[in-house]
Amino acid sequence: RFEFWESSIANHLGLGAAIEYANEVGIVKIQDRVTKLASTLRLQLGAIPNVQVHDLGSVQCAIVTFSIAGILAENIKCSLESAGYTSSLVPSSSTPLDSLRRNVPDTLVRV
Q: What is the pLDDT of residues 49-70, one digit of tens each?
A: 999 999 998 999 999 999 999 9
- According to the model, what pLDDT value does residue 44 have? 98
Q: 93: closest CA among 107, 110, 76?
A: 107
Name the helix (H) or strand (E) containing 32: helix 27-46
Average pLDDT over residues 15-22: 97
Identify the burial level of 43 via C-beta atoms within 10 angstroms of its C-beta, where 0-12 means exposed, 13-18 middle and 19 or more buried.
exposed
Mean pLDDT of 17-25: 97
DSSP 51-109: EEE---SSS--S--EEEETTB-HHHHHHHHHHTT---EEEEGGGSHHHHHHHT--SEEE
pTM equals 0.83
- For residue 8, the model assigns a pLDDT of 86
